[in-house]
Structure 1
Amino acid sequence: MLNNLKVGTKLALGFALTILALIIVAALGLSRISSIAGEVNVMVNDRFPKVVWANDIIDNVNVVARAIRNTLLVKSEDETKREMDRIIDARKIISDRLEKLEKSIVSEDGKAKLKVIKEARSVYVGYQDKFLELLKAGKKDEALSLMLGDLRKSQAAYLTSINDLIAFQTSLMEKAGKEAGELADSTKTLLVTMSVLAVVLSVLFAFLITRSLTRPINEVSGAAKKMASGDFNFKLESNAKDEVGEVVRAVASVQHAVQAMTADANLLAQAAVEGKLATRADASKHQGDFQKIVVGVNNTLDAVIGPLNVAANYVDRISKGDIPAKITDSYNGDFNLIKNNLNTCIDAVNKLVADANTLSKAAVEGRLAT
C-alpha cells in the first residue's frame, strides 16, 4: 500500500498516525483521570460530609444527654435554664444535620437507615420531653428514674442507628477509595500499554516508510555506479507510484535505451567485420539524443561507404577496360586523396591507351621508329 503513495503523503501519514496515537493516549488518560476525580469528588463532597454530619448528631446527642443529667444536678433556676437552652440548641443542630442527610442520601439503603434514625430520635425526643415535664413538675426522682431507664435505652438505640449510618457511609467511602485506587492502577497500566503500543506502531510505520524509500534508492545508486563503469547488465524495476518509483523507472529506461544503442552498435560492428557495409541501424527505435547518435553513425557509414563504392566501381570498370571519366564529386580528407589517386590513375591509363593507339597507328603506317 505504501508503494502507491507519494513520499509527502507517506510522511504526512506517518506524522498523522503518531499524533493520533498521542491523542488517543491523552484522551484515555484524561478520561480515566476524570473518572478518578469523580470517585474522589464523591468521597470528599458526598460520603465524607455525611459521616461528618452523622458525627455532629452524635456529638449533640451527647450534649443533650449531659444537659439532661446536669438539670438534675444544678440548684438554681438560671443554671437549669442554661442547660435547657443547651438542649434546645443541640436539637436545632441535630435537626439541621438530619435535614442535610435527608437531602443528600439517595440510595435506598441509606434512606432506610435514615428512617430508622428519625424513628429512634422521635422516641428519644419523646422521653426527653417527658423528662423535662417531670423536672418542671419538681418530680426529680421520677425524672431520674426515667433518665436511667427508658431515656437511656432510647438514647442508646438512637446512637446505634446513627452509628449504623456512619458505618454504612464509611463502607461507601472505603469502596469508593478502593475503586479509585483500582482505577488509578488500571489507568497506569492502560496508559503504559497504550504508550508502548503507540511507540511500537510509530517505529514500525517509520521503518516501513524508511524501507520503502531507502531500498529503491540503494538499488538506483547501485545501478548508477554500474552504468558509470559501463555495466548495463542488471535488473531494475518498480511498481511503486511514488517519486522514488518514478526515479527507478526512469533509470531503467536509460538502461534500456543504452542497451538498445549498444545492441545496434554491436550489429554495425559485426556487419563491418563480415563485410556487410550496407547494414544500417534502425534509428526509429531510439529517441532524443540517442536517436541522433544512431543517425550520426548511419550517416558516418554512408560517408565512408559512398566514396569506397565509387572507388570500387571505378577500379572494376578500369579492370574491364572501361575507362570512366574523372571523378568530379567533392570529398574531404583521405577520401579526397583516394579520389585524386583514382583520377591520376585514370589519366595514366588514358595516356597509356593513347600511347598504345599512337604506336599501333605508326606500326600500321610503317613508322616503326615511332
Structure 2
Amino acid sequence: MLKNMAIRTKLLTIVSITVAALLIVTILSLVTINGIFNKVKTSIFDELFWSMSMILNADRDMYQAYVAILEIANLQENSEEYDKSLQDYEENIEQVKQRMTDTKGMIEKNREIWSGTRDSENGRTIFEFFVSFERNFSEWIAESNKAIETKAISHVWDEKFEAARNDIDKMGELIELNANNQISLIEETKNNMIVQVIIIDILALVLALAISFIFLKIIANSLGQLSKAAGKIALGDIDIELDITSKDEIGKLAGDFKIMADSIKEKAEAAEKISKGYLDTDIRVRSDKDILSKSMKSIIENLKHLVDETGVLTKAASEGQLKTRGKAEKFEGGYRDIIEGINSTLDAVSEPILEIQEVLKEVSAGHLNVRVKGDYKGDYAELKNALNNTVDTLRSYIEEISRVLTEMSKGNLDVACRITIWETLCIYMKP
C-alpha cells in the first residue's frame, strides 16, 4: 500500500503523523500537568486539614479544660470528682499546648507563604496570633490556677479564655483563607501553564506545518519536473529543461538526469550520422559500463569492414574478376549473411557468364553447333536469341550490381533491389 502511494501523499502522511504525535504529546502534557497540580492540591489540603484539625481539637481541649475549672470550683477538694476534674483540666491543658506547638511547627516550615496571609480586620498574620494565643493562654492558665486555689471565678478568667479562643478562631480563619489562596494560586499557575503549553504547541504546530508544506512544495515540484522529464525521455524526446538548483539528493538526481539526457542526445546524433553513412563519427565511451557506446563503436567498425569488403567485390566485378569472393568468415550474424549473399549472387552471375563465354569462344571459333547446357532462364533454341538474352541478362545484372554496390559504398544500406533474384541483397539498417 505504502509503495503505491504518491510522494505527495507520503509526505502529507508524514506531516499528519507528526501533527498527531504533537497533539498526543500536548494532551499527555496537559494530563501530566493536571495530575501534578492535583497532587500538590491534595498535599496542601492534607496539610491544611491537619492544621485545621489540630486547631479545632485544641479549641475543644481548651473548652473541656474550661468546663473542668467550672466543675472544680463547685466540688469538694480531695473528693473523687474533684480529682477527676483536676486531672481532666491538666490533661486538656497539656493537649492544647502540644497541639498548638505541632501546628506552629508545621506552619513554620512554610513561613514565607503564611506570612502573606493576613487577617482582614487587623492585618495580623497567623504567627502574630500564635504569639497572642500563647500570651492569653498562659494568662488564662494562671487565672485558672487561682480559681482552683480560691474556688472563685473572676471576670478576668473569662476574658482571657475568650481572648485565647478568639486567637484560635482567627488562626482557623487564616488557615482556611490561606488554603483558598494557595488553591487559587495553584489553579491560576496551572491554567497559565496549560495556556502556555497550548500556545507553544500551536506555534510549534503552525511552524511545523509551514516548514513541512514548504519542503513538500519544493520536493513535489522537483519530483514533478523529474517525472515529466523521465516521461519525455521515455518517448524519445531528449530536449528537457530542469529548473532544479538544490544541492541535495534531488538536485544531484536532476544533474544526473541532465547528464543522461545529454548522453542520449549525443548517441542519438551519432546514430543519425551513422544511418546517413558517416562512418567516421566519433563515439565517446563514458565508462566501462557504457554498453551502448561500445556497441555503436562496434557497429561502425563492422560497417567499415563491410564497406571495405563490398568495395573489394565491386572493384573485382568491375574489373571482370568474377572468381573473386568476399571473406564471409571475417563477419558474424547479418553482416556475414550479406557477404555470403553477395558471394551467392556472384556465383549465380558468373556461372552463366563463364558458360556463355565458353559458348561465345566456341561460336567465335566457328563451333556453331555448341549450345548452352546449363539450367538457365530463357530460350536457347535459337543461338541469336540465346546470345541476345544472355547479353541482355548479363548487362542488367551488372547494372543492378553496380547500382546496389554504389549505393552501399555511399552508406545507403537501405537498398531496394529491382531484380527479383537479387532480393537477398536488400539491406535494412535501422538506428
Pairwise TM-score range, normalised by the shorter structure: 0.5 to 0.7
State whether residues 64 and 92 of structure 2, in contact with CA within 8 Å, keep that contact through their aligned partners in structure 1.
Answer: yes
State whether residues 120 and 157 of structure 1, in contact with CA within 8 Å, keep that contact through their aligned partners in structure 2.
Answer: yes
State whether residues 216 and 245 of structure 1, in contact with CA within 8 Å, keep that contact through their aligned partners in structure 2.
Answer: no
The amino acid across from 2:41 in the alignment is M
What is the root-mean-square deviation of aligned Cα atoms in Å?
4.5
Give me the whole-angstrom Cα distance separating, in 2, the residues matched to 1:27 and 1:180: 17
Residue of structure 1 equivalent to 2:129: 117
Does residue 66 of structure 1 match 2:43? no
Give me the whole-angstrom Cα distance separating, in 2, the residues matched to 1:136 and 1:80: 9
Query: Aligned-pair distance for 1:90?
Result: 2.9
Give me the whole-angstrom Cα distance separating, in 1, the residues matched to 2:46 and 2:129: 17
Classify 1:243/1:348 alpha carbon distance in 2 versus 1 (closer, same or farther; 3 Å): farther
Give me the whole-angstrom Cα distance separating, in 2, the residues matched to 1:97 and 1:354: 158
Q: How many residues align?
A: 312
Residue of structure 2 equivalent to 1:223: 233
Query: Aligned-pair distance for 1:171?
Result: 0.9
State whether residues 29 and 191 of structure 1, in contact with CA within 8 Å, keep that contact through their aligned partners in structure 2.
Answer: no
State whether residues 69 and 144 of structure 2, in contact with CA within 8 Å, keep that contact through their aligned partners in structure 1.
Answer: no
Does residue 102 of structure 1 match 2:108? yes
Residue of structure 1 equivalent to 2:240: 235
Does residue 333 of structure 1 match 2:344? yes
Residue of structure 2 equivalent to 1:299: 305
Query: Aligned-pair distance for 1:173?
Result: 2.4
| Unmatched runs of 5 consecutive residues or more in structure 1 | 1-12, 269-279, 315-324, 356-370
Give me the whole-angstrom Cα distance separating, in 1, the residues matched to 2:347 and 2:307: 16
Give me the whole-angstrom Cα distance separating, in 2, the residues matched to 1:215 and 1:130: 100
> Deviations along 1:34-84, whole A, 9 cap, x unmatched?
665554444332x33442243124313421442244135434412353244
State whether residues 267 and 283 of structure 2, in contact with CA within 8 Å, keep that contact through their aligned partners in structure 1.
Answer: no
* Counterparts of residues 130-169 of structure 1 (less than 5 Å): 130-142=142-154, 145-169=155-179
Residue of structure 2 equivalent to 1:290: 296
Segment of structure 1 superposing worse, 289-298 or 299-308: 299-308
Residue of structure 1 equivalent to 2:267: 257
Does residue 308 of structure 1 match 2:314? yes
State whether residues 54 and 166 of structure 1, in contact with CA within 8 Å, keep that contact through their aligned partners in structure 2.
Answer: no
State whether residues 217 and 244 of structure 1, in contact with CA within 8 Å, keep that contact through their aligned partners in structure 2.
Answer: no
| Unmatched runs of 5 consecutive residues or more in structure 2 | 1-10, 76-81, 118-123, 285-292, 327-342, 367-431
- 1:141 alignment partner, SS class: coil
- 1:285 alignment partner, SS class: coil
Instruction: Give aligned-pair identity as a percent.
Output: 11
- How high is the TM-score relative to the length of structure 1? 0.64
| Larger RCO (alpha carbons 8 Å, 6+ apart) | 1
Classify 1:185/1:205 alpha carbon distance in 2 versus 1 (closer, same or farther; 3 Å): same
Query: Aligned-pair distance for 1:257?
Result: 1.0
Segment of structure 1 superposing worse, 190-199 or 160-169: 190-199
Whose helix fraction is larger, Structure 1's or Structure 2's? 1
